Amino acid sequence: MRVLVVDDDPGSLLVAKAAVERSGHECLTAPDGDAAWRLYQSHRPHAVVTDLVMPGLDGLALCRAIRTAEADSYTYLILLTSLGSREDVMAGMEAGADDYVTKPLDPFTLHTRLIVALRVTSLYTELARYHRMLAEQARTDALTGLRNRLTLTEDLQQLHHRSERYGLHYCLAMCDVDNFKSYNDTYGHQAGDAALKAVASALAGQLRQSDGIYRYGGEEFLLLLPDQSRSGAKAVLERCRAAVEDLDITHTGDPSGALTISAGISCYRPGHRVSSAELLREADTALYTAKTTGKNTVALSGAGHSGSGF
């Protein structure tokens, strides 16, 4: 554990440093609150042992500054004071301190406080890890590992806002596995899940790193293609369609005998600056066109089409 000790008394500082190191921890030292704040910002110690009265930032101000600066970490704060009054202790706790030790410092007492500090900060680190993991799970489709609709909503809003602000263009495509209900009915849901994972992987393999792919729901996938023209998007989706067809997943319920996809594309481009909701509607309409004109095909939305490369 990394411990920062702050005290304007050189003798007390040396005693505290020795006690911290004898407890098996790394120790940083500062002679005043201002220096301590700089060290905290650059090293982010797990625990801080700070004197109450000192030049620059006093112990209370330092505690408040640290609590304000914390984001995804927790620093255990121990107030070191020779005053020992209830008012000072209460003021320290209200400023964010977790515990206090009176001066002159007893190394054994500090050692016990650091044991508690290690337990608390370790627990907080573990809880933060679980929180990050749960947050990631909430944004990821459990079956395919793709980003889900929650993430799509955020990413699409951000992409649309940037494109709107800077006059950029982008396309989105809605993809649907053809005759998937009959596939599930014929081969079972376990085979259906395996097929969806294979399709997701095939689609992702045709995209740039800057593109986005999402499980939109059921057997539907949505692709975000930043800085992509209509013709470019059409070429990408044709590659995606061919990649799924090349999986050669047998589907006796499909006229082609294999599992295929259809896709509909819409584009935000010069002369067609519509809302993201309208683009989704246009892509869905184009997908319907692809579905009703033979499937295993890619259709471009005709909305706002001017005949240009965009």
Q: Tens digit of pLDDT for each residue in 265-277? A: 999 998 899 999 9
Q: What is the pTM for the complete model shown?
A: 0.65
Q: Tens digit of pLDDT for each residue in 204-243? A: 999 999 999 999 989 999 999 999 999 999 999 999 999 9
Q: What is the mean pLDDT of residues 127-150?
A: 86
Summary mean pLDDT of the chain:
91
Alpha-carbon gap, residue 101 to 121, rounded angstroms: 19
Q: Does domain 149-300 have CATH number 3.30.70.270?
A: yes
Instruction: Locate the domains of the chain by residue range.
Output: 2-136, 149-300
Superfamily of 2-136 according to CATH: Response regulator (3.40.50.2300)
In sequence order, the β-bridge partners of residue 222 are: 174, 214
Q: Tens digit of pLDDT for each residue in 256-266? A: 899 999 999 99
CB 68 within 8 A of CB 37: no
CB 23 within 8 A of CB 16: no
Three state DSSP letters for 96-134:
CCCEEEECCCCHHHHHHHHHHHHHHHHHHHHHHHHHHHH
In sequence order, the β-bridge partners of residue 101 are: 80
How many CB atoms are located within 10 Å of the residue 246 CB? 10
Amino acid at 114: L
Residues with a known catalytic role: 219
3-state class (DSSP) for residue 112: helix
